[in-house]
Amino acid sequence: MIKVGIVGGTGYTGVELLRILAVHPDVTVSCITSRSEAGVPVADMYPNLRGHFDLAYSEPDPAVLAACDLVFFATPHGVAMSMIPELMAAGVRVVDLSADFRLKDLDVWSQWYGMPHQSPEWVEKAVYGLPELVREEISGAQLVANPGCYPTAILLGFLPLLEQGLADPSRLIADGKSGASGGGRQGKIGMLHGEVGESFKAYGASGHRHLPEIREVLSTASGKATGVTFVPHLVPMVRGIEATLYAELKDPADFDRLQALFEERYRSEPFVDVMPFGSHPETRSVRGANLCRMALHRQEQSNTVIVSSVIDNLVKGAAGQAVQNMNIMFGLKETQGLEAPALLP
C-alpha cells in the first residue's frame, strides 16, 4: 500500500483527492492537514466521507509528511515550495496541485505569482504532469507539478494541431469558462452565490497567470514561440470548465484529416474522449470524472478550426489528474481509482 499524505485537506481539491482515494485499492491516507480544522475528524467536516476515513485533520508536520511515500499539496501557491527541500531530501515523492513548480522560467514565475521562488533548485527537476504529453518523464519523477485547470483543457485541445505543425502557432485563441469552485473554498466576495449567480463575466483579460503556463508548454511541444490570447470567464455553476479554442490552419486541405488525426492522437488515452466532428461537449458530461472530452468544428467559409474542450476542474483539472500522476509514478494501472463515469444530470 502506498502511504499518502495530503497538505490542505479542507479545500475543494483536497477533499476531491479524499473522495477519489477513498476507493483506491492501493492507497492508505495516513495524514491530512489543515491548520484551521486541526483535531476535527475528516468525516465530521465532510459527511460524504463518513465510513471511509477515521482520520482527523492535523497541523502540517514535516516529520510526519516525511514518513509518507507520496505527499499531495492541495495548498495555495507558495506553500509547497517552502517544504519541498525537506521532503525531497527524505526521498518522498510529491504531486503539487499548486503552480509552484509549473513554470521553468523563474523570472516569469515571480512576475505572475508576486514572490521570489523558495526552491529554485527543484524547478528544473520538476516534471509538468500532463500524462498525455510526458508520461515517461512522470513515471521517473520525484516531483510532479500538476497542471492548472484551464491549461489542462486548453493544452489537450491545441496539442494535436501544434505537434503536427498544422496551425499557425502565433495566432491561437483560448476562450475559457469556469465554475466557481475553480476559485477555491476560502471566502471571497466575488465568489458568493449572490455575486456569481445569474451573471457571467470575463476576468483577467489583460493577462491571467495561466497564460505563461499555456504559452510555455505549447512552445516546448511545438518547438516554436507561441502566441496565445487567453481570456477566462466565470460562469454561474459549481464545477466544470469549457474552453473554446480557435486556430488558423495553414493549409485548408488539412481539414479533411483533422478528425482522424485527433482520434489517432488520443486513441490509447484513457482520459481523453474525441467526440464525433461537430459535436458540442457539455461540462455536465464530465462532472466528477477524470476526463477531457473534446470536439472539432469548422466554421463555414473560414480556415479557422474550433475545438471545444470540457473538463471537471476539480478532477481532470486537479485531483483526478494528480491521482493519475501518482498511478504513473508508482507503476500502477493508470486508471486505478479513476474509472467512474460522470454524474449526469
Ligand X SMILES: CC(=O)N[C@@H](CCC(=O)OP(=O)(O)O)C(=O)O
Ligand Y SMILES: NC(=O)C1=CN([C@@H]2O[C@H](COP(=O)(O)OP(=O)(O)OC[C@H]3O[C@@H](n4cnc5c(N)ncnc54)[C@H](OP(=O)(O)O)[C@@H]3O)[C@@H](O)[C@H]2O)C=CC1
CB of 340 to ligand X, least distance (A): 22
Q: Does residue 338 contact residue 321 with C-beta atoms inside 8 Å?
A: no
Residue 332 binds ligand X (CB under 6 A): no
The nearer residue to ligand X, 60 or 148, going by C-beta atoms, is: 148
Residue 183 binds ligand X (CB under 6 A): yes
36 binds, among ligand X, ligand Y, none (CB under 5 to 8 A by kind): ligand Y
Residue 232 binds ligand X (CB under 6 A): yes
The nearer residue to ligand Y, 7 or 196, going by C-beta atoms, is: 7
Residue 8 binds ligand X (CB under 6 A): no
335 binds, among ligand Y, ligand X, none (CB under 5 to 8 A by kind): none
Residues 246-305 that bind ligand X (CB under 6 A): none
- Reported as half-sphere exposure (CB side, CA atoms, 13 A), residue 159 has a value of 24
DSSP secondary structure letter of residue 67? T
CB of 89 to ligand X, least distance (A): 26
Convert 144-191 into a string of H (helix), E (strand) and C (coil): EECCCHHHHHHHHHHHHHHHCCCECCCCEEEEEEECHHHHCCCCCHHH
- State whether residue 66 is helix, strand or coil: coil
The nearer residue to ligand Y, 72 or 262, going by C-beta atoms, is: 72
Residue 17 binds ligand X (CB under 6 A): no
Buried b (16+ CB within 10 A) or exposed e, 1-21: ebebbbbbbbbbbbbbbbbbb
Residue 99 binds ligand X (CB under 6 A): yes
Residue 144 binds ligand X (CB under 6 A): no
DSSP secondary structure letter of residue 270? T
CB of 88 to ligand X, least distance (A): 21
Residue 322 binds ligand X (CB under 6 A): no
Catalytic residue (one of 31, 68, 149, 292) = 149
Residue 178 binds ligand X (CB under 6 A): yes
- Taking CB under 6 A as the binding criterion, the range among 51-59, 126-134, 177-185, 222-230 that sits at the site for ligand X is 177-185
Residue nearest to ligand Y (CB): 11
The nearer residue to ligand Y, 69 or 100, going by C-beta atoms, is: 100
For this structure, is 149 an active site residue? yes
Of 322, 302, 306, nearest to 314 by C-alpha is 322
CA torsion 138-118-319-312 (nearest 10°) is -100
Tell me which residues touch ligand Y (CB under 6 A).
7-14, 34-37, 60, 74-77, 79, 97-98, 148-149, 181-182, 184-186, 313-314, 317-318
CB of 280 to ligand X, least distance (A): 22
The nearer residue to ligand Y, 37 or 195, going by C-beta atoms, is: 37
The nearer residue to ligand X, 148 or 212, going by C-beta atoms, is: 148
For residues 50 and 41, give the distance between their C-alpha atoms in angstroms, rounded to a whole number: 10
CB of 305 to ligand Y, least distance (A): 27
For residues 65 and 60, give the distance between their C-alpha atoms in angstroms, rounded to a whole number: 8
- Taking CB under 6 A as the binding criterion, the range among 176-184, 253-261, 300-308, 331-339 that sits at the site for ligand X is 176-184
- The answer to whether the bond into 345 is cis (omega within 30° of 0) is yes
What cell does 69 get?
A: 511515500
CB neighbour list of residue 63: distance below 8 Å, 6 or more residues apart: none
What cell does 15 get?
A: 477533499
Task: Please provide the DSSP assignment of 21-61 as one string.
Answer: HTT-TTEEEEEEE-STTTTSBHHHH-GGGTTT---B-B---
Please give the residue ranges that form the binding site for ligand X (CB under 6 A). 98-99, 148-149, 178, 182-183, 210, 232, 234
Active-site positions read 149
